[in-house]
Amino acid sequence: MRNRLILNYPASIWSARWKDALPAGNGSIGAAVYGGCCEETVMLTHENLWWQGTDDPVPDVSGRLPEVRRLLAERRAPEADKVLADALKERGYNPRVACPLPLGDLKWIVRAERAFADYSRTLDMETGLVTVAWADGDTRLKRELFVSRADDAVVCRLTADGPLRLGGVVWLDLHDIADARMPFGGVSALPTDAESFGEGAFVYYAARKDDGTDFGAVALVRAEGGELSPREKGLAYEGAASIQVVAKVFYDGDRSEAWPRLAAELADEASAQLGFSALLERHAALHAPIFNRMTLDLHADEAERSLSNEELLLRAYKGQAPVAMLEKMWAYGRYLLVSSSREGGNPSPLMGLWSGEYTGFWAFNMINENLQMNYWQALSGNMPETLLAVFDYFERLLDDFRENAARLYGCRGIYIPAPTSPQSGRIGIIYPHIIHWTGGAGWIAQHYYDYYLHTGDISFLRERALPFLMETATFYRDFFTIGEDGFYVSSPSNSPENTPGNYWSKLATGCEETTMETTINATMDFAIAKEVLTHLAEGMRIAGGYDEAEIAGWEAMLARIPPYQINADGAVREWMHPDFDDNYEHRHQSHVYPLFPGTEVTKEREPALFEAFVTAIRKRLVIGLKQQSGWSLAHMANSYARTGEGDLALESLDILARSCVLSNFFTVHNDWRGMGIGVDLEWAPFQIDANMGWTAALQEMLLFGVPGRLSLLPALPTRLSRGAAGPLLARGAIEASLEWDAEAGRLRAKLTAKAADADVAVTVPARFVPAGAPTEYRITLQRGQPITLAFTASEGVLAE
């Protein structure tokens, strides 16, 4: 039951019911099952169906950059804030980032004889199967659905076990037009020329998006023992023992071509007599191996694991998330990533694959935290292939990123704006805090190099990671200037998405009308640049074939990056410039990047600096708690896991569990003070990043590694005293499977080098070795040959 979600009621009767639905997906196609009995809705989506965006060339405003820098140097930051944004507007640039468009709804009517009873809806995360079940008198009805990874189709079956024969209607239509309502008022446009009808055993549906192209679906309906007849928009079924619907979708083109093509594909599959069970088996054979590559068992009580989501949430609301909820939320984040990310496609954006809004609220790919959080779990969770969609996506848009760099800043290399979409990588939001954040490409570059470190794939390093790192470093070479002290200056600069304290206080007293986020020398700028340059030089030497003088040129840039600065209160400064004071009342923690998600600063290497970063994190949980929401609490949990403070990491997840989690376990961007149970869905946007960040945080508590060093259970919370996990994947391409009993002082670790022989320093918590014994042990791993280490507080360390 660890990998199963159980709910006692269907999606909320409120609007935006898709936020309460149970999700299924194959990485490209998404389905959100509302869970109705007599009237069911399944929202369909596709990763490539986006609209309402523009893709106009970026005007060249790079000539205004000296003015921005001059104003900042003259301490006229509010004036500098608007220069580039206004320059773009003056040139007529009015961009818009595209947002996902719901493809449509699969609708069911099931004729009922009695009122429903014994209702449940479940999600089996190991297979991706969503089940809605209820009783109608003496008949047990069950509707099952999955999205096939093997056949690229939505597969659904309705069965009746008992005397009742099935009757009703099935059709396809536009997604619920109530979801055209937008937060804070307003109504989105709708697709045009919607059309649906039934013919023979097929239901056809299409509509037109704003670029004049069509999207839609074709569904094949099979009625076992019954009859089909056309009805308005779809097909009626009568006298059947079961109904099977297989739907294929298209997201671009013309309906007159797509309909016959998809119908032919469905007819071919029907001629092979592939029933529901056979189709599910084909899908699960691809889905389950990825999902099951790592397991987590926190020894939750079996009775607790059998509780519904609603019951677990009520227990979490009392103060602590039940252990069964910790397990299920971990598995859910994993399931959502597998279901919404696939090689060759697009990365999982802020709403994953399941946005039901016609104009999505923050529904794009956002890389000043959110997309990265979606993928923090991928490598440590032993699912590196899910990251390939990220690399594929950004490489498709490289020309746009080069254009941004050249026309905004007059630089070579690439500049990736915080929001992008598959339609365009050009800067699509011209707010100053978006324009002036230059760290996007560097943060994505971390994933490139981490992929190499976790997999040892030298071909990937040479062919994909190093070229991307070089494009990113080239931008820094052109963008940074040199100050009077010989160190680089980053101007304009931005620490996402924070306003310096000395400007924040003006806002609080009403002296300013807007935020002011344009600064000089945000700590994050230099942390990311240092990481990029370090990885580039290191990677070039590993890959070979590069001129040493070229490598030395990149390394020389490292010497010009200023050292981190510390406030009088002992916390690392967020801006390395005297004109900008720290502001702890904000959810972002951008300046702690060197500690997390970076690996530059560790307790072993730089203990004093490490403590300064720890102090900065603690300030956010104390002073800045009132600003925290779903994703930021997940970030906080990851940060505390990296500092070795497992109980504080788990406390962050507890707050998240009781304030920002819906009944289907989707997480929302809800201020924790807005309570939790009964979150107002009209406001709180669904954001999948906190789901993914939850999974990553638990993995951070269990394992941390850099090449040559592996820390086992570095932040084990007191409540998670027993468990088993693995195989996790660590930098250095090392797999680790762990079993522990903290109360008994026992830890068993199975370690395997996946790519090459490795000498590793393994550290363990003191509770797992005899008093006074070392907590660090050096071992040599030979590729592919596992070593098992047994640590015991009573007997010491044994190698098996």
Domain with CATH 2.70.98.50 in the chain: 4-51+101-292
Nearest of 530, 580, 533, 570 to residue 552 by alpha carbon: 533
Torsion 684-657-622-608 (CA) sign: negative
**Lowest pLDDT segment from 376-390, 433-447, 786-800:** 786-800
Q: In what order do the strands lie in the sheet with 139-148?
A: 4-7, 116-124, 129-136, 139-148, 153-161, 242-250, 214-224, 202-208, 192-199
Rounded to an integer, the average pLDDT of 152-164 is: 96
Nearest of 447, 450, 435 to residue 392 by alpha carbon: 447
Task: Say which amino acid occupies 770.
Answer: P
Partner residues linked to 758 by β-bridges: 781
Instruction: Give per-residue pLDDT as tens, 409-426.
Output: 999 999 999 999 999 999
Q: 81 by DSSP, 3-state: which?
A: helix
Say whether pLDDT at 513 is over 50.
Answer: no
pLDDT number for residue 511: 47
Say whether pLDDT at 273 is over 50.
Answer: yes
Highest mean pLDDT among 330-334, 362-366, 584-588, 657-661: 330-334
Domain with CATH 2.60.40.1180 in the chain: 708-799
> How far is residue 340's CA from residue 46's CA, in Å, rounded to a whole number?
10
Instruction: Give per-residue pLDDT as tens, 287-304.
Output: 999 999 999 999 999 999
Q: How many CB atoms lie within 10 A of CB 798?
A: 11
Task: Say which amino acid occupies 148.
Answer: S
The residue with tokens 């390395």 is 576
Nearest of 100, 119, 229 to residue 171 by alpha carbon: 229
Say whether pLDDT at 671 is over 90.
Answer: no
Say whether pLDDT at 514 is over 90.
Answer: no
Q: In what order do the strands lie in the sheet with 734-741?
A: 295-297, 722-730, 734-741, 746-753, 787-792, 796-799
Q: Are the C-beta atoms of residues 153 and 248 closer than 8 Å to each other?
A: yes
Rounded to an integer, the average pLDDT of 30-55 is: 96
pLDDT number for residue 677: 56
> How far is residue 733's CA from residue 707's CA, in Å, rounded to a whole number?
8
pLDDT number for residue 626: 62
CA-to-CA dists, residue 789 to 375, 752, 765, angstroms: 30, 11, 14
Mean pLDDT, all residues of the chain: 93
Instruction: Give per-residue pLDDT as tens, 43-80.
Output: 999 999 999 999 999 999 999 999 999 999 999 999 99
Q: Are the C-beta atoms of residues 715 and 434 closer than 8 Å to each other?
A: no
pLDDT number for residue 444: 98
Torsion 580-585-590-595 (CA) sign: positive
Instruction: Give per-residue pLDDT as tens, 113-133.
Output: 898 899 999 999 999 999 999
pLDDT number for residue 721: 97
Rounded to an integer, the average pLDDT of 588-595 is: 91
Which pLDDT band, with edges at 50, 70 and 90, does 512 fall under?
very low
> How far is residue 417's CA from residue 425's CA, in Å, rounded to a whole number?
8
CATH number of 4-51+101-292: 2.70.98.50
> How far is residue 703's CA from residue 368's CA, in Å, rounded to a whole number?
25
Q: How many CB atoms lie within 10 A of CB 675?
A: 14
Nearest of 652, 664, 661 to residue 701 by alpha carbon: 652
Task: Say which amino acid occupies 418.
Answer: A
Torsion 670-676-681-686 (CA) sign: positive
Query: What long-range pairs does 375-378 form, CB within 8 A, spacing at least 24?
Result: 375/337, 375/341, 375/347, 375/348, 375/447, 375/692, 376/597, 376/638, 376/692, 376/693, 376/696, 377/333, 377/334, 377/337, 377/692, 377/693, 377/695, 377/696, 377/699, 378/337
Which pLDDT band, with edges at 50, 70 and 90, does 506 fall under?
low
Instruction: Give per-residue pLDDT as tens, 595-652.
Output: 999 999 999 899 999 999 999 988 876 655 666 778 889 999 999 999 999 999 999 9
* Helix and strand counts by DSSP (H, E) for the chain: 22, 32
Percent of the chain with pLDDT over 70: 95
pLDDT number for residue 295: 98
- Looking at CATH, the fold of the domain delimited by 708-799 is given as Immunoglobulin-like (2.60.40)
Q: Are the C-beta atoms of residues 348 and 415 closer than 8 Å to each other?
A: no
Rounded to an integer, the average pLDDT of 703-731 is: 97
Q: Are the C-beta atoms of residues 693 and 635 closer than 8 Å to each other?
A: yes
> How far is residue 186's CA from residue 361's CA, in Å, rounded to a whole number?
12
Backbone phi, psi, residue 748, to 5°: -120, 130
Which parts of 544-585 fold into alpha helices (H)?
548-558
pLDDT number for residue 351: 87
Say whether pLDDT at 681 is over 70.
Answer: no
Percent of the chain with pLDDT over 90: 84
Q: How many CB atoms lie within 10 A of CB 111?
A: 15
**Lowest pLDDT segment from 115-129, 254-268, 627-641, 705-719:** 627-641
Token pair belonging to 353: 């694959």
Sort strands 709-712 and 758-763 into parallel, antiparallel or unpaired. Answer: parallel
pLDDT number for residue 622: 64
Q: Are the C-beta atoms of residues 709 and 453 closer than 8 Å to each other?
A: no
> How far is residue 499's CA from residue 505's CA, in Å, rounded to a whole number?
10
Angle at 204 between CA 228 and CA 199, to 5 degrees: 35
At what angle are helices 523-543 and 466-479 packed, to 10 degrees? 140
Q: In what order do the strands lie in the sheet with 234-240?
A: 22-25, 29-33, 39-46, 104-110, 166-173, 234-240, 227-231
**Lowest pLDDT segment from 148-152, 360-364, 544-548, 783-787:** 360-364
Say whether pLDDT at 679 is over 90.
Answer: no
Token pair belonging to 484: 């009077």
Task: Say which amino acid occupies 173.
Answer: D
Partner residues linked to 224 by β-bridges: 242
> How far is residue 192's CA from residue 51's CA, in Å, rounded to a whole number?
13
